[in-house]
Amino acid sequence: MESAKAGNIEDSKRALVSLGPHLGSRIDLIFHIGVLLKKYGQEDVMRRMIESARVQHPDSPDVAKAVQHLLS
């Protein structure tokens, strides 16, 4: 996230793609990570991440936001 904020797009893409979208307890970042994944052409990975979070955190407003804006 810091690389993307700083404008280091290639560095952030490389890190995100190599590490994968593992949010751990930071479910609040799902929307932002999803946006980056989509921007970097990783839409299938983004969809799987959001669908998994939807099952694991069905009442999360952060997940609901990601579903609404990125999957519809």
The amino acid at 26: R
The pLDDT tens digits for 2-51 are 667 776 778 877 777 766 567 888 899 999 999 989 988 889 989 999 99
Domain count, the chain: 1
The pLDDT, as a whole number, for residue 19 is 62
Q: Which residues contact 7 (CB under 8 A, 6 or more apart)?
A: none
Q: Which residues contact 47 (CB under 8 A, 6 or more apart)?
A: 71
**Alpha-carbon span 11 to 47, nearest angstrom:** 22
- Residues spanned by the domain of 23: 2-71
